[in-house]
Amino acid sequence: MKRLLPALLLAAGAVAAHAATLQPDKSDLSFTFKQMGVPVDGRFKKFEAQLDFDAKKPEAGKIAFAVDLGSVSLGDPSFDKELAGAPWFDTKRNGRASFVSSGIKAAGPGKYDVAGKLTIKGATRDVVVPITLASGVASGSVAIKRLDFKIGDGEWADTSMVANDVTVKFKLAFSGL
């Protein structure tokens, strides 16, 4: 027992040494889609991330990310209210989107492919997110199909008005990384 306690403390310290803290004020989460062929940019104002990562052992890393869907903004309050409604994000019943990693693979110096499950409006899909990590900042983008997640139900499911393709872009600054 005397030997077990120091080993457990050492192991706990090793895990904590690689945990990083998100710096929301230095981070950004945005998206782009096309409406009637014209690119439209939006962003989320509230999100959180947990990262446990060691560049020497990326496969042992874990990433969890959550987005407050009610914080969506297209820059116009009436559009933002529309996006919070049932056909789009339905924030009253589905207030959060999440991503939880299931594996991280090195893809070159400072580059990683993060596989995981993305859940929006109760729909979960497997995705691989390419990430570049430099100076404590994880950045990248991932393409999704909005209809895979029931975003834009009903009359908005017609992709001639609002395209199905959405590009999600992120820049996440971490301290302790």
pLDDT of residue 159: 96
Dump pLDDT digits (tens) for 76-126: 999 999 999 999 999 999 999 999 999 999 999 999 999 999 999 999 999
Dump pLDDT digits (tens) for 6-58: 333 334 433 334 689 999 999 999 999 999 999 999 999 999 999 999 989 99
CA dihedral 76, 79, 83, 86 (to 10 degrees): 140
- CA–CA gap between residue 112 and residue 36 (Å, rounded): 34
> Within a 13 Å sphere around the CA of 70, how many CA atoms are in the beta-carbon half?
6
153 vs 103, more confident? 103
Question: Residue 139 gets which letter from DSSP?
Answer: E
DSSP helix/strand/coil, 3:
coil
Out of 3.40.640.10, 2.160.20.10, 2.40.128.110, 3.10.129.10, the CATH code matching 20-175 is 2.40.128.110
Domain ranges of the chain: 20-175
